[in-house]
């Protein structure tokens, strides 16, 4: 992979050009870097930074390059962030104001669509390559679906912003031409496709008469396979947020609400990852942060971190923040966490409720919840899942080795 030093003023070759169907405002342009004073800022410092800075004092005529994966959904999500950043500067034609560029690339998760996510291992399938470019200064902000971001970030990187969350639930999409309205309507033995072991585990528990198959493809391709006359799927389970952002909300048959199906940690939320020492980028990020979403997602991520699980393990959550009237930032946080065995036969669930007034207290709720889940059986479930995955990965490696020898 070709690398670019921070001093070079061009987009790295490793980052693909914007697809031709995007508007000109979203195409990569020459990158301009500014000198930034070094500092060390983590998430607990962000609230103070937000109140101390304004967009005008945080930046001048610098050009910020926003990077993300090259998928259609990732580019749409990048433009959502881009529009919010540009809205901070109505007089964007002023030569003294900041400029924004975009750049896109494929990640390991994009390149391997033949194997179930559960078996790929690792917790940075969708982020690692982008973070390399960020740390080297080739880009300034990386836009992620927060559910894909590991709970422990590389040294030198941090989450600068979490935007207001889209509805985090999963949705049922049935084959065109069929009249089924719910999972209960599907005939016994019907095949339901999804790329998530979390969904499979929970739905096996609630719908033991249905069959579930992995479908690790882009949403457009998944829907094509669903609708194919000779396709095996009666329905798919997909994240509602992705469907809505892609303009496919009309394909949603029904939303699957808890307790039928608990969503993934941080599902529906977009995050902006930045360098720790980039105070200008951080000041901008805090202006587009939705603090209620941030608190809920940080609580969920703290729970996931304590459970040592990634986005490909059957950990489900649901959170709610009831904001107190007359108080600037405080409210009652209700967080539910679930861990379910892949067979659906063993399930651990617990709910905590606490008053919180900052991000640290929100994270403490998530950590406390995880400890309770561990004490009530979650660790055994996750250990069994990891052992099963390691065994299957080893078997696949041996099969590949044998095939190579006989070829």
- Active-site amino acid positions: 148
The C-alpha atoms of residue 232 and residue 236 are separated, in whole angstroms, by 11
All residues at 6 or more sequence positions from 184 whose CB lies less than 8 Å from its CB, including other chains: 207
Q: Alpha-carbon dihedral of residues 16, 20, 24, 25, nearest 10 degrees?
A: -50
Hey, CA dihedral for 157, 160, 161, 162, is it positive or negative? Answer: positive
Write out the two tokens for 274: 């930045």
- How are beta strands 331-340 and 315-323 bridged, if at all? antiparallel
Preceding amide of 259 cis, omega within 30? yes
Write out the two tokens for 313: 């393990």
The C-alpha atoms of residue 279 and residue 200 are separated, in whole angstroms, by 42
The C-alpha atoms of residue 62 and residue 356 are separated, in whole angstroms, by 37
DSSP 274: E
- The count of other CB atoms within 10 Å of the CB of residue 52 is 11
Hey, CA dihedral for 109, 110, 111, 113, is it positive or negative? Answer: positive
Picking from 9, 12, 11, the residue whose alpha carbon sits closest to that of residue 1 is 12
CA angle 92, 141, 102 (to 5 degrees): 60
Contact between residue 342 and residue 201 where contact means Cβ atoms under 8 Å apart = yes
Indicate the SS3 state at residue 250: helix
The C-alpha atoms of residue 203 and residue 206 are separated, in whole angstroms, by 5
The C-alpha atoms of residue 212 and residue 113 are separated, in whole angstroms, by 18
Write out the two tokens for 141: 């902000």
The C-alpha atoms of residue 55 and residue 405 are separated, in whole angstroms, by 61
- The count of other CB atoms within 10 Å of the CB of residue 257 is 12
Write out the two tokens for 197: 């072991």
**CA contacts within 13 A on the Cβ side of 398:** 6
């Amino acid at each position: 992979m070709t690398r670019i030093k921070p001093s070079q003023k061009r987009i790295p070759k490793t980052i693909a050009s914007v697809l031709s169907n995007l508007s000109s405002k979203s195409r990569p342009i020459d990158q301009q870097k500014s000198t930034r004073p070094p500092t060390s800022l983590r998430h607990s410092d962000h609230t103070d930074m937000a109140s101390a800075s304004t967009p005008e004092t945080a930046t001048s005529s610098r050009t910020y390059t926003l990077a993300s994966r090259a998928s259609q959904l990732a580019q749409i999500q990048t433009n959502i962030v881009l529009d919010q950043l540009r809205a901070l500067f109505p007089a964007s034609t002023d030569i003294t104001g900041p400029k924004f560029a975009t750049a896109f690339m494929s990640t390991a998760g994009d390149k391997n669509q033949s194997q179930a996510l559960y078996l790929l291992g690792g917790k940075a399938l969708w982020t690692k390559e982008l973070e390399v470019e960020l740390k080297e200064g080739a880009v300034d902000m990386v836009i992620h679906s927060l559910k894909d971001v590991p709970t422990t970030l590389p040294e030198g990187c941090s989450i600068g912003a979490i935007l207001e969350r889209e509805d985090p639930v999963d949705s049922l999409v049935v084959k065109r031409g069929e009249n089924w309205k719910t999972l209960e309507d599907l005939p016994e033995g019907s095949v339901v496709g999804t790329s998530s072991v979390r969904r499979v585990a929970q739905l096996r528990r609630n719908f033991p008469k249905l069959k579930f198959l992995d479908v690790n493809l882009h949403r457009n391709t998944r829907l094509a396979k669903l609708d194919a006359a000779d396709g095996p799927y009666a329905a798919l389970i997909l994240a509602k947020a992705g469907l809505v952002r892609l303009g496919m909300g009309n394909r949603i048959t029904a939303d699957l609400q808890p307790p039928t199906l608990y969503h993934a940690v941080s599902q529906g939320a977009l995050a902006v990852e930045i360098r720790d020492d980039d105070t200008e980028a951080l000041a901008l990020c805090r202006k587009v942060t939705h603090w209620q979403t941030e608190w809920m997602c940080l609580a969920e991520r703290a729970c996931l971190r304590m459970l040592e699980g990634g986005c490909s393990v059957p950990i489900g959550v649901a959170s709610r923040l009831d904001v107190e009237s007359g108080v600037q930032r405080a409210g009652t946080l209700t967080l539910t966490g679930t861990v379910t065995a892949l067979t659906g036969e063993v399930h651990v669930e617990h709910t905590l409720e606490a008053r919180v007034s900052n991000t640290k207290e929100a994270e403490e709720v998530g950590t406390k919840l995880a400890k309770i889940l561990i004490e009530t059986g979650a660790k055994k479930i996750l250990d069994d899942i990891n052992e099963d995955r390691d065994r299957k990965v080893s078997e696949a490696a041996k099969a590949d080795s044998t095939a190579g020898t006989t070829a």
